[in-house]
Amino acid sequence: MSILESILLGIIQGLTEFLPVSSSGHIEIGKTLLNSSFFEKENLLFTVILHFATAISTIIVFRKTIATVLRGLIKQQKKEMAFSFKIVISMIPAALIGFFFEDEIANLFSGSLSFVGYMLIITALLLYLADKGKATARKVGYADSFIIGIAQAIAILPGISRSGSTIATSVLLGIDKKKSAEFSFLMVIPLILGKIAKDILSGELEALSSVNFLPFLFGFLAALISGYFACHWMLNLVRRSKLTYFAVYCLIVGIIAINS
């Protein structure tokens, strides 16, 4: 994999991790268009690095909120403890599916653009419905957390946008759009960091000592920078009910992918 390929894939990951168009689906499309071929373990490492970059960009954007929650946990404040518990609840569905069906999930990322296309069309429908949601002041509840977590678990499928599906689910549940977006972005941080820790502890990355890490570094930086700006952009778009544009985009790309 060249440095240019890694930068392009990093930008795709950074933008699509937050914008509701499916990062996994676009990475698969990007690899196909670039005809990017690298060994399975290198592919695993690159995926880990890109996800770590977007996790860091999320932490930077929400650093004040995260600091407040951490201080509240240390002081055992009720509000922050409740919020943290909701985050834990939201992680359960995706964690269970990832643990028990890891091999089956890996098989879905086999370069089948038609499958990605159909999933992008489903994403388009979710975004359209979310944009029609009415403005409310309702916060995320405990039951809501689990339902949103189910949406996050379904978004493991390439082509289903994680941010799009979780934000859409939150809005359809009647939750405030700003709160929906914030919860959607914060709930994925523990999952990403947990998955990275699992890959490292399992020893799957041990055989990579001879890999040229320069392309991976450029990919990391590209995903980090583009992810930071995309996160800010997405928060503004959700508040202004501008998701329909992305619904149209997902629909068009989905149709193209199916017919490619």
* pLDDT per residue as tens digits for the range 35-50: 655 545 556 677 778 8
Handedness of CA 60, 66, 68, 73 (dihedral sign): negative
Rounded alpha-carbon distances, angstroms, from residue 126 to 20, 163, 184: 10, 11, 15
Write the CA distances from 6 to 14, 43, 161, 226, 255, integer angstroms: 12, 11, 22, 13, 26
Q: How far is 129 from 184, CA to CA, in rounded Å?
A: 17
What integer pLDDT is reported at residue 35 of this predicted model?
A: 65
Where does residue 45 fall: left (phi above 0), alpha (psi -120 to 50 degrees), or beta otherwise? alpha
Q: Could you tell me if 254 and 118 are in contact, meaning their C-beta atoms sit under 8 angstroms apart?
A: yes
Which tokens go with 69? 């929650």
CA distance 150 to 96: 10
Asked if residues 111 and 32 have their Cβ atoms less than 8 Å apart, the reply is yes
pLDDT of residue 42: 59
Question: What are the pLDDT tens digits along the chain (260 aa)?
Answer: 678 888 988 898 888 888 888 777 777 777 667 665 554 555 667 777 888 899 999 999 999 999 998 888 888 888 889 999 999 999 999 888 877 776 666 666 665 678 888 989 999 998 888 887 777 878 899 999 999 999 999 888 888 888 889 999 998 899 988 888 899 999 988 888 887 787 777 665 555 555 667 888 899 999 999 999 999 998 888 878 788 888 999 999 899 888 87
φ, ψ at 11 (rounded to 5°)? -65, -40
User: What pLDDT was estimated at residue 39?
Assistant: 45
pLDDT for the residue 149: 94
- Of residues 72, 120, 87, 69, the one with CA closest to residue 191: 87
Q: Which two tokens stand for residue 83?
A: 């919020």
Q: How far is CA 80 from the centre of its chain?
A: 24
Distances (CA, A) of 130 to 91, 135, 174, 192, 245: 22, 11, 10, 25, 12
Closest among 258, 197, 257, 232 to 27, alpha carbons compared: 257
Phi-psi sector, 111: left (phi>0), alpha (psi -120 to 50), beta: left
pLDDT at residue 223, rounded to an integer = 93
